[in-house]
Structure 1
Amino acid sequence: MTIGPDAAGPSRAIVIGAGLGGLSAAMRLGAKGYRVTLLDRLDRVGGRGSSVTQNGHRFDLGPTIVTVPQVFRQLWAECGRDFDAEVDLRPVDPYYEIRWRDGSVFTVRQDEAAMIEEVRRLSPRDVPGYRRFLKDSEARYQFGFEGLGRRPMNRLMDLIRELPGFVKLRADRSVYGHAAARVRDPRLRMALSFHPLFIGGDPTHVTSMYILVSHLEKEFGVHYAMGGVQAMADAMARVVTEQGGTVRRGVEVDEITVEGGKATGVVTTGGERIAADIVVSNADPGHTYDRLLRKQVKRRWTPARLNRSRWSMGLFVWYFGTKGTAGKWADVGHHTILNGPRYRGLLNDIFMKRHLANDMSIYLHRPSVTDPSVAPRGDDTFYALSPVPNLHGKDSVDWAEMQETYRQRLAQVLNEQLIPGFEDHLSASHILTPASFESRYLSPHGAGFSLEPRIFQSAWFRPHNISEEFGNLFLVGAGTHPGAGIPSVVTSSEVLTQLVPDAPRPVVRVTTETKVAAE
């Protein structure tokens, strides 16, 4: 028996965007039997996890840590492969240091006994409250990450079913509010509540469900991928191509085509039309609905609704290299968080007033202490990240005017408080502002992490992984359920596979001729 000449071929899937959500979706669709075409406008895969190289310094532009490596091990296993054989993931210990202007330091590690001693050193009276906080974070991890975070939330009943859990775990309380209910020392309140900033949320308004991050760190550790997240993205792209898929870089999608209420493919900015049985968008949901589907009438994700949504903060990131400084500033490790003079006031300026303050808090990444490949021998590679307002609103920051001024302010803080004299050794420099995020990643309003993860912009309230607007259209990535951050972005493709059917096998057409041939 042979397959007739007009038999159906493999089902075709187009994935828009080669960020970690799009790459993991392409891998999982390939494992389900789809013939995948992955399209990305950049010259490297990885999206916000991509990199640029300047004067021998590799700058990993986005995420720097992996907190739940088993989501990658599961992803690779679903493709019949071994993650640890293809990606070199190293534990980082200590995870990071938090520093305040009064000279106090809080060193975060995986060992619980060591952490309790750190709390005791800063504020002995807060040790019982810290123990309670750890139990609180574990309960929210089980409910939020392992529970609703790994299941579709596209039906209202999915949300209603979880309401008792939200009530029991005080989802109405903010992350900061929950930390403040457990500990009194303002430094500890900051140390236990700042994590939503890593996914674009205001700790004073984001639901306390996100204290689950503390459990993720404690349970699974903090890891660094040798070669950076770019190396992980490159490994993911190799899996896609070895499954028979196609990865096309430098190709931007201009439109998702729709016929009869169903997505049928895409049109590129170059005018190429590509047909598909399903379309998966890893582009920001705001860009997907507002731009790629601009010719279609939407019922839920209308331009007006997207415009009045709350978007995550923007990011000012200065990537720089220093010559001959390996071994210098020996007390500065892989990850350092440098607090400004204000915490809640600065958050209010960034998220509520959208005002660019003169003071700042800084996350300093120094990967060269772990990975020699990021810099020439004897040199260092850094990036300094400062949360800033996004571009939403008519009075947003003009970064063409403010970029150098803000860089100088940031350099002054680093010079005075962390790495004195570093500017004398500069050998490379690269900057991203919210305006860069808007142009490079097509991020609405230059937001660093898509929609802010407030309670009414999470779970069922967030753009669904299966579009409620058009058939055969699916969404993955930071702006969809379950949200931003590497574990959640990869988990969004896990949710996707629960919504997309397995690719049907080719139909075998049996004719009189094929029967005779078989006999």
Structure 2
Amino acid sequence: MTTPRKTALIIGSGIGGLSLGIRLQALGFDTTILERLDQPGGRAYQKRTPDGYVFDMGPTVITVPHFIEELFALERGAGMLAEPDYPPHTLTDDARVRTGNSGGPRTRDYVQLVPILPFYRIWFDDGTYFDYDGDPESTRRQIGALAPDDLAGYERFHADAKAIFERGFLELGYTHFGDVSSMLRVVPDLMRLDAVRTLFGFTSKYFSSPKMRQVFSFETLLVGGNPLSVPAIYAMIHFVEKTWGIHYAMGGTGALVRAFVQKFEELGGTVEYGRGVDEILVTDGGGRPVRFPVGKRVATGVRLEDGTERHADIVVSNGDWANTYLKRVPAAARLVNSDLRVKAARQSMSLLVIYFGFRRDGTDLNLRHHNIILGPRYEALLTEIFGKKVLGQDFSQYLHIPTLTDPTLAPEGHHAAYTLVPVPHNASGLNWAVEGPKLVERVYDFLEERGYIPNLRDRLTHSEFITPDYFESTLDSYLGNAFGPEPVLIQSAFFRPHNRSEDVGNLYMVGAGAQPGGGTPSVMMSAKMTARLIADDFGIHASVRDGVPEVVGAAD
């Protein structure tokens, strides 16, 4: 008699949920992903407009294509094979793909990845810019032009950031910090590398120019972190990008999401849309609902918003960490992730994102695929967004123009763009129905008057925007945060939400709210970490028989 396969329910079809779904199918589970929206992606939702524009509503920066190749190479029942966590080639400047197709052989079966150069054009308020492409010689040349006194500092920064990358990413990147001892073992190394001071403080050791301090610290804003408060271990982002480059999925990030869905379904998984989850069902281990905070607690399934129940051997949330516990796990089942702890956690900032289309006018834009446009104040603005939670008199923004690479995202003769402005989350009390439209107008005025997109108002053919209210309501993020818990030191590693619930058996987390953190590569890493925990919990491991991989103790 065949033993029934173990079953899994994943709440949410973001990149983390889809990545884990693929891995669970490889482990032998029968997995269903329940998605509240009408299509996959979560924060990576892609919108198509009636007038012919395609907008990625969330992440647009793709790095470490090896992580994507890994997922497309998995097969049903193959399990946690002994594939390398990182590409097997030597990590040198010559290893990075700079032209052509940057996806691996299996990736090319599903989606086309291409490298983007420069990674970012970083604009300063005085009109000068820095093309950040990860090439040391180009970097030195531009530092020599903008801040020649910082050339020696760059050499020291480069060496020290590389050491942090090698220890913090290559050696510890896939470490799940599930207990205090796992954290204590790495603290001496982090102290030795000076990786626990703030990132901005770390860069300020090497650079005296405000421009260079901004160039080498801004990236954490793209994962929800304030450079003034995140630990310097995030200097490794510089080397992650430098080593593997920045990439784009032709058709947008939505094309990558659809490719993940295709792979997941090919492996036998199921995605159901319009299936919001109201509650995670928890019993006391004997099948009785938990009413008191004592005894063994086990997740047995979910109750959907329509009242129906779905049961499975494991439940995984790819949703917002705070709302997963506050809204969906009974309070009596929560000792570690109590209301007090969850509400006390610092949430990342939120965003105002404007999606707009405009006519090409025959002149070349002095912009690139990814543009960082910094305002006149850096530290003061960050303090207002993250600390004071107010809207400042100025703003910085990330301007994304994918049609410079992929014209198919807009009608012929037009550009599709979005610009992302960091703003406080909804603990600010700001009325976005009032403040949102006002800020949109300020951004349009800025882009036109400063010459980034000349005559933008006359050329504008499509305009819409989202505010923190979108993150709070549509994406169900606590306080409208855009990236989960803020990655400060006291919310990193062991202190970041755990991928295996400390409160409820057979309940797991994946995505930006879990370890290791936010950002597209990190949520794919999170999926692998969570899959490894599940494999350990269910006694699943890979072996090789007659040269053929097989899963021992698979979920069947």
TM range (shorter): over 0.9
Does structure 1 conserve the Cα–Cα contact (< 8 Å) formed by 2:282 and 2:333?
no
Number of the residue aligned with 2:499 = 465
Number of the residue aligned with 1:496 = 530
Indicate the RMSD between aligned Cα atoms, in angstroms: 1.5
Number of the residue aligned with 2:383 = 348
Number of the residue aligned with 1:406 = 439
Number of the residue aligned with 2:298 = 262
Task: Report the CA distance between 1:8 and its aligned residue.
Answer: 3.0
- Does 2:424 align with 1:424? no
Number of the residue aligned with 1:381 = 416
Does structure 1 conserve the Cα–Cα contact (< 8 Å) formed by 2:27 and 2:554?
no
Q: Deviations over 1:191-210 (max 9, x none)?
A: 11111101111101110000
Counterpart-to-counterpart distance in 1, 2:554 and 2:139: 54
Number of the residue aligned with 1:9 = 4
Task: Report the CA distance between 1:73 and its aligned residue.
Answer: 1.3
Matches within 5 A, 1:239-278: 239-259=263-283, 260=285, 261-278=297-314
Number of the residue aligned with 1:312 = 348
Matches within 5 A, 1:46-57: 46-54=41-49, 55-57=51-53
Number of the residue aligned with 2:240 = 216
Q: 1:72 to 1:206 in 2, by over 3 A?
A: same
- Does 2:321 align with 1:297? no
Does structure 2 conserve the Cα–Cα contact (< 8 Å) formed by 1:17 and 1:39?
yes
Give the letter for the 1:15 counterpart.
I
Counterpart-to-counterpart distance in 2, 1:460 and 1:302: 17
Give the letter for the 1:114 counterpart.
S
Does structure 2 conserve the Cα–Cα contact (< 8 Å) formed by 1:36 and 1:246?
yes
Number of the residue aligned with 1:199 = 223
Counterpart-to-counterpart distance in 1, 2:223 and 2:237: 11
How many matched pairs? 499
Task: Report the CA distance between 1:295 and its aligned residue.
Answer: 4.6
Give the letter for the 2:304 counterpart.
T
Counterpart-to-counterpart distance in 2, 1:102 and 1:357: 19
Number of the residue aligned with 2:430 = 397
Task: Report the CA distance between 1:330 and its aligned residue.
Answer: 2.5
Q: 1:104 to 1:433 in 2, by over 3 A?
A: same
> Please, which of 61, 68, 83 is the counterpart of residue 65 of structure 1?
61
> Please, which of 75, 87, 103 is the counterpart of residue 127 of structure 2?
103
Number of the residue aligned with 1:511 = none
Number of the residue aligned with 1:37 = 32
> Please, which of 284, 306, 309 is the counterpart of residue 320 of structure 2?
284
Task: Report the CA distance between 1:147 and its aligned residue.
Answer: 2.5
- Does 2:255 align with 1:231? yes
Does structure 1 conserve the Cα–Cα contact (< 8 Å) formed by 2:331 and 2:338?
no
Does structure 2 conserve the Cα–Cα contact (< 8 Å) formed by 1:183 and 1:189?
yes
Task: Report the CA distance between 1:148 and its aligned residue.
Answer: 2.4
Counterpart-to-counterpart distance in 2, 1:493 and 1:86: 20
Does structure 1 conserve the Cα–Cα contact (< 8 Å) formed by 2:357 and 2:461?
yes
Counterpart-to-counterpart distance in 2, 1:148 and 1:156: 15
Q: Which stretch of the first structure deviates more once superposed, 71-80 or 451-460? A: 71-80
Q: TM-score, normalised by structure 2?
A: 0.87
Give the letter for the 1:300 counterpart.
V
Counterpart-to-counterpart distance in 1, 2:108 and 2:372: 29
- Unpaired runs of at least 5, structure 1: 508-519
- Does 2:109 align with 1:76? no
Number of the residue aligned with 1:512 = none
Does structure 1 conserve the Cα–Cα contact (< 8 Å) formed by 2:29 and 2:555?
no
Give the letter for the 1:66 counterpart.
I
Give the letter for the 1:447 counterpart.
N
Q: 1:196 to 1:378 in 2, by over 3 A?
A: same
Q: Which stretch of the first structure deviates more once superposed, 261-270 or 154-163? A: 154-163
> Please, which of 177, 182, 193 is the counterpart of residue 206 of structure 2?
182
Give the letter for the 2:69 counterpart.
R
Task: Report the CA distance between 1:126 and its aligned residue.
Answer: 0.7
Q: TM-score, normalised by structure 1?
A: 0.94
Matches within 5 A, 1:97-136: 97-136=121-160
Q: Which stretch of the first structure deviates more once superposed, 471-480 or 148-157? A: 148-157
> Please, which of 86, 109, 131 is the counterpart of residue 85 of structure 1?
109
Does structure 2 conserve the Cα–Cα contact (< 8 Å) formed by 1:255 and 1:292?
yes
Give the letter for the 1:8 counterpart.
T
Task: Report the CA distance between 1:297 and its aligned residue.
Answer: 3.2
Task: Report the CA distance between 1:223 and its aligned residue.
Answer: 0.6
Counterpart-to-counterpart distance in 2, 1:290 and 1:183: 43
- Does 2:171 align with 1:139? no
Counterpart-to-counterpart distance in 1, 2:164 and 2:554: 41
Counterpart-to-counterpart distance in 1, 2:370 and 2:22: 31
Does structure 2 conserve the Cα–Cα contact (< 8 Å) formed by 1:58 and 1:381?
yes
Number of the residue aligned with 2:100 = none
Does structure 2 conserve the Cα–Cα contact (< 8 Å) formed by 1:106 and 1:118?
yes
Does structure 2 conserve the Cα–Cα contact (< 8 Å) formed by 1:364 and 1:383?
yes
- Does 2:428 align with 1:433? no
> Please, which of 435, 443, 451 is the counterpart of residue 485 of structure 2?
451
> Please, which of 322, 325, 329 is the counterpart of residue 358 of structure 2?
322
SS in structure 1 at match of 2:462: strand
Does structure 1 conserve the Cα–Cα contact (< 8 Å) formed by 2:333 and 2:504?
no
Give the letter for the 2:110 counterpart.
E
Task: Report the CA distance between 1:233 and its aligned residue.
Answer: 0.7
SS in structure 2 at match of 1:465: coil
Calculate percent identity across the aligned residue pairs: 39
Counterpart-to-counterpart distance in 2, 1:141 and 1:444: 31
Q: 1:345 to 1:31 in 2, by over 3 A?
A: same
List, as ranges, runs of 4+ consecutive aligned residues in structure 1 with deviation greater than 6 Å. Answer: none
Task: Report the CA distance between 1:329 and its aligned residue.
Answer: 4.2
Task: Report the CA distance between 1:505 and its aligned residue.
Answer: 5.3
Does structure 2 conserve the Cα–Cα contact (< 8 Å) formed by 1:46 and 1:229?
no
Q: Which stretch of the first structure deviates more once superposed, 57-66 or 296-305? A: 296-305
Number of the residue aligned with 1:514 = none
Q: 1:348 to 1:410 in 2, by over 3 A?
A: same
Q: Which stretch of the first structure deviates more once superposed, 152-161 or 444-453? A: 152-161
> Please, which of 404, 407, 428 is the counterpart of residue 372 of structure 1?
407
- Unpaired runs of at least 5, structure 2: 79-104, 286-296, 541-550
Give the letter for the 2:113 counterpart.
L
Does structure 2 conserve the Cα–Cα contact (< 8 Å) formed by 1:267 and 1:274?
yes
Task: Report the CA distance between 1:506 and its aligned residue.
Answer: 7.9
Counterpart-to-counterpart distance in 2, 1:223 and 1:107: 16
Does structure 2 conserve the Cα–Cα contact (< 8 Å) formed by 1:171 and 1:455?
no
Task: Report the CA distance between 1:72 and its aligned residue.
Answer: 1.1
Does structure 1 conserve the Cα–Cα contact (< 8 Å) formed by 2:365 and 2:453?
no
Q: Which stretch of the first structure deviates more once superposed, 288-297 or 189-198? A: 288-297
Give the letter for the 2:179 counterpart.
R
Q: Deviations over 1:66-94 (max 9, x none)?
A: 12111111222233781232120010111
Does structure 2 conserve the Cα–Cα contact (< 8 Å) formed by 1:152 and 1:498?
no
Counterpart-to-counterpart distance in 1, 2:269 and 2:380: 49
